[in-house]
Every structure is written in structure tokens, then in C-alpha cells.
């Protein structure tokens, strides 16, 4: 007879900003954090490849309702571009499929960066999670099938050369949702008359979270349960890009029942396309303001 007690799941809510280690999948990271917190529910806001490191925001409990607000936020990546070798995956995991002896100099690299900022047309890597007729592109690519993905328009706010070398140059990019750094590195190398791939990738920020907020797995493991809970950021940390509407107690109760409320008082907004409503510092709902009424779209049970 199994005498081990079943672990009790907790209704804990908040954000754990993980510094995901190298060679761990995002799913494995979520599973580990969920286990450490004994959380009933967990998810992540934006996949990081196993070979990438850095910011992986993990949502626990009610924070899972706010995942889209983080996923849609701006992202900052630092990446190393290895010159002279293209790979099947556009990163260090794939097989080399083309080589070039050409190595651009620093001035040439700096001179084309402006071409890769703003709204940019980008063909996603063949090894990506995008679907083609219901199948993941990476599954088709691994099966040896030819993968043709349509170009997409992505927003790149800035692209900076941090260090230049004959073999590897390091860049920092700030970009919007849907941008593939692997595709950016591939296209940048092609523009400079050579080939290349991402040799290293670190996500330094996503949404309102950055490296300064990040916690390592080994540090979490060393904490007692109270310290782990203290490391969580509130559910509302997801809403840095949204205006806040502060409610009174009776208004919060009405919205928690899914009903709209009229906002009163000096400075009460008349119209907001998107906002979040709070009471006593906790998120009550996300929604919109129309004709002075806050209309809830998603209610949070905190």
C-alpha cells in the first residue's frame, strides 16, 4: 500500500519571473515551478527555446488569466550571431546547411541595422511552432518535408550592435510579438553577403518584467515556502501597459458578479478601449470603459 500522502494543491496566484536556464524547455520550467509552489494551476507567457536563457514569466493561479497581456508586450533579446554557417534551424541546434568564408566588418554591420528596424517583413524559421494545414512546421521539417511559410510583418523597435567579432557578433533587439530572432539573424547575415545563425540567445525583458526581477531555479529550491511566496509578483504586474481604474468596495462587488458599474468622481474616465479595475491594490477585472461605465471582460477571483 502506498503510504505517501498526495500533495495538496494550493490556490496560489501571482507571477514568478524565472531566469530560465540553458537546456530546459519552457514546459519543464513551468512544471518545476508549479511543483515547488504546489500550485493548482500554472502556465507561461511566451515560450523560450531550450537553448535560450532568460525571462520566462510563469503565471500561477489567477495570473493565468492575464497571460495574453504579457505575451503581447515588448520583448528585449540579446543574441550572438555566428558568421559563416547557416543551419537547418537557424540556431546552434541544427545541422550546418551552408557555409561562407565572408566575414563582414564592423562598419558594414552597423551600416545595415537601420534596414532591420521598424515594420519588417520576415519569413519565420522552418523549425517553428507555426501550423501548416494543422501540422506544426517543426514536425514537418523534422520529417524531411519542405516547409514554406509566408512572410509576416513584425515590429522591431531597435537593433543595436553590442560587440563585433570575426566569428561572433552580439546584438540587442527590442521587438514586438511574433518576431523570430533566429530569422532576424539569418536575414542580417544574408544581407551582409554571408550566412549565419544564432549561437546564443537571452531574453532580457518581456512586458513589464526584466532581468532585475528574475529568480533562478536553484535559488527557489533553496527557499522555504514563505520566502517563495514572497518572491511572487502580484497578478496586476501583467498590466503595466493598461490604465488602472480604482473602485470602491460596492463597485468591486458588482463587477465581481460580472456587471458593469458607473464610474464617478473627479477624473473618472469616460472611455477607455482597455483597462484594469482594482480594489485595495488587487485586480478585480480587465475590461473597457464606455460612456463612463466600466464593463468587465475578465473577472479575477482574488
Residue 124, C-beta contacts closer than 8 angstroms, at least 6 positions apart: 130, 137, 149, 152, 180, 183
To which H or E segment does residue 159 belong?
Answer: strand 152-163
CA distance 75 to 18: 15
Catalytic residue among 19, 23, 49, 224: 49
283 neighbors 247 (Cβ within 8 angstroms): no
> What's the full length of the chain, in residues?
302
Nearest alpha carbon to residue 163 among 103, 222, 110: 110
To which H or E segment does residue 184 belong?
Answer: helix 181-191
φ/ψ of residue 276, rounded to 5: -125, 145
User: What is the SS3 assignment for 11-67?
Assistant: CCCEEEEEEECCCCCHHHHHHHHHHHHCECCEEECCCCCCCCEEEEEEEEHHHHHHH
Identify whether 49 is a catalytic site residue.
yes
CA distance 82 to 161: 13
Q: Is the dihedral of CA 36, 39, 40, 41 positive or negative?
A: negative
First to last CA, the chain: 38
CA distance 233 to 70: 13
Catalytic residues, by residue number, are 49
Amino acid at each position: 500500500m502506498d503510504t505517501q500522502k498526495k500533495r495538496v494543491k494550493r490556490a496560489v496566484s501571482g507571477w514568478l519571473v524565472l531566469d530560465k536556464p540553458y537546456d530546459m524547455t519552457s514546459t519543464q520550467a513551468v512544471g518545476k515551478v508549479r511543483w515547488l509552489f504546489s500550485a493548482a494551476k500554472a502556465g507561461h507567457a511566451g515560450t523560450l527555446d531550450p537553448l535560450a536563457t532568460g525571462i520566462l514569466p510563469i503565471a500561477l493561479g489567477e495570473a493565468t488569466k492575464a497571460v495574453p497581456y504579457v505575451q503581447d508586450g515588448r520583448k528585449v533579446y540579446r543574441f550572438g550571431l555566428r558568421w559563416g554557417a547557416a543551419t537547418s534551424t537557424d540556431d546552434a541546434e541544427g545541422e550546418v546547411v551552408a557555409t561562407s568564408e565572408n566575414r563582414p566588418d564592423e562598419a558594414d554591420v552597423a551600416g545595415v541595422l537601420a534596414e532591420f528596424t521598424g515594420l519588417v517583413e520576415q519569413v519565420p524559421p522552418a523549425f517553428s511552432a507555426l501550423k501548416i494545414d494543422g501540422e506544426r512546421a517543426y514536425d514537418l521539417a523534422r520529417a524531411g518535408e519542405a516547409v514554406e511559410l509566408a512572410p509576416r510583418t513584425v515590429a522591431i523597435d531597435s537593433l543595436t550592435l553590442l560587440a563585433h567579432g570575426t566569428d561572433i557578433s552580439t546584438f540587442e533587439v527590442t521587438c514586438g510579438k511574433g518576431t523570430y530572432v533566429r530569422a532576424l539573424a539569418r536575414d542580417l547575415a544574408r544581407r551582409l553577403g554571408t550566412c549565419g545563425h544564432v549561437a546564443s540567445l537571452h531574453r532580457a525583458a518581456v512586458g513589464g518584467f526584466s532581468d532585475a526581477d528574475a529568480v533562478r531555479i536553484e535559488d527557489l529550491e533553496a527557499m522555504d515556502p514563505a520566502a517563495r511566496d514572497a518572491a511572487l509578483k502580484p497578478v496586476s504586474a501583467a498590466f503595466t501597459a493598461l490604465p488602472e481604474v480604482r473602485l470602491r468596495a460596492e463597485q468591486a462587488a458588482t463587477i465581481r458578479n460580472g456587471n458593469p458599474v458607473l464610474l464617478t468622481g473627479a477624473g473618472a474616465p469616460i472611455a477607455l478601449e482597455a483597462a484594469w479595475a482594482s480594489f485595495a491594490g488587487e485586480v478585480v477585472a480587465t475590461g473597457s470603459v464606455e460612456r463612463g461605465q466600466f464593463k468587465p471582460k475578465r473577472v479575477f477571483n482574488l
